[in-house]
Structure 1
Amino acid sequence: MDEAQLIKGIQQGDHKSFQILVETYQRMVVNTCLGIVHNQADAEDLAQDVFLEIFRTAEKFRGDSKLSTWLYRIATNRSLNLIRNNKRKRFFQSIEETFTGGRNRSSEISENRADQPDQNMADQQRSDLLHRAIDRLPEKQRIAFTLNKYEELPYQQIAEIMEISLASVESLIHRAKKNLQEQLLDCYKRKCV
């Protein structure tokens, strides 16, 4: 079944077509979300939201771009919305802690870390450091970098997803790499890891 038939089936409410869509693109959507939010459970939840949105809004798909481009765009937007909402939530929690003296704060201690060998811990720390550095990139740099490095998308497809020029994508990825290099170099000089 080609993309046109698949979309037409979904637009007509065909559950078999929707199932084929999910089976074909689920890994791609989850990985896209994971590359942005860095949390497997959140990425899987976001992927479900993406597919539900596709099912509800399939009639809006005009076919101007590939189906995968549309999915990447929705997955990216949903992921960024989650990050924004989490930042807003943390902001209000910090205000609440200021007024309550931190009495309402819940502890977030990972149970798995105590059981991991030293090497896994060091690897996890380096991974966390990289994710934090990526998260500090400006939004457009973060999106372009994530789609290119985590999803291995070509610049042209990233340009379509982000609705910007190819030159802009090249510039964003170049600046993202430079910013990451500076952040990580600075951190290693300060011995963050």
Structure 2
Amino acid sequence: MSQVKAGDLNAFKNFFEFFYPKLMALACRFVNDETAKDIVQEIFATYWEQKENIDADNILSYLFKCVQNKCLNYLKHEMIVDEANIRIAEQRIQAISSCPDSNDTLQNLITRDIYEVVESSVKKLPPRCAEAFRLCFFHDLPQKEVAVIMNISLRTVETHIRHAVTFLKTDLHDLLLLILLFYAKK
């Protein structure tokens, strides 16, 4: 460790090779492989840049905590982005639906078809996850209320919603693009 702190690149290379697999194993428990690689490499880069200022008794514990925090921050950010994208799409649909010159019959058909496609995708989720998603997004209930209704913790609701949004984002990717293109042209 003292050699790494002194700036010895060979010592840092050995340090990296020793800890990298352990940190990747931890990061992959939270995020996909590509994101895990980015996070772990960022941790090592930050460690190298701040090596003189880091005074940790147990370096593995310190690095694990850094990776865990970085992964959790990444997941929180992704959840916020996903929820924002869904809200934007909902607002666009609502705005288009409220246009006086729109064809109500066509709008109703499109809305019903979209709902059916989304619902068929939601049915692929685990039952409790799907239930939490429906309560939050179809019934517009706050997550705290969903936790009470489902008799689970708020954190479990958040986990269900994050899992659902991540899955639906992938499963409905083509549909979301089509909706955005369709409504953007109007």
Per the normalisation by structure 1, the TM-score is 0.47
Q: Which has the larger radius of gyration?
A: 2
Higher relative contact order (CA 8 A, sep 6+): 1
Length-normalised TM-score, structure 2? 0.48
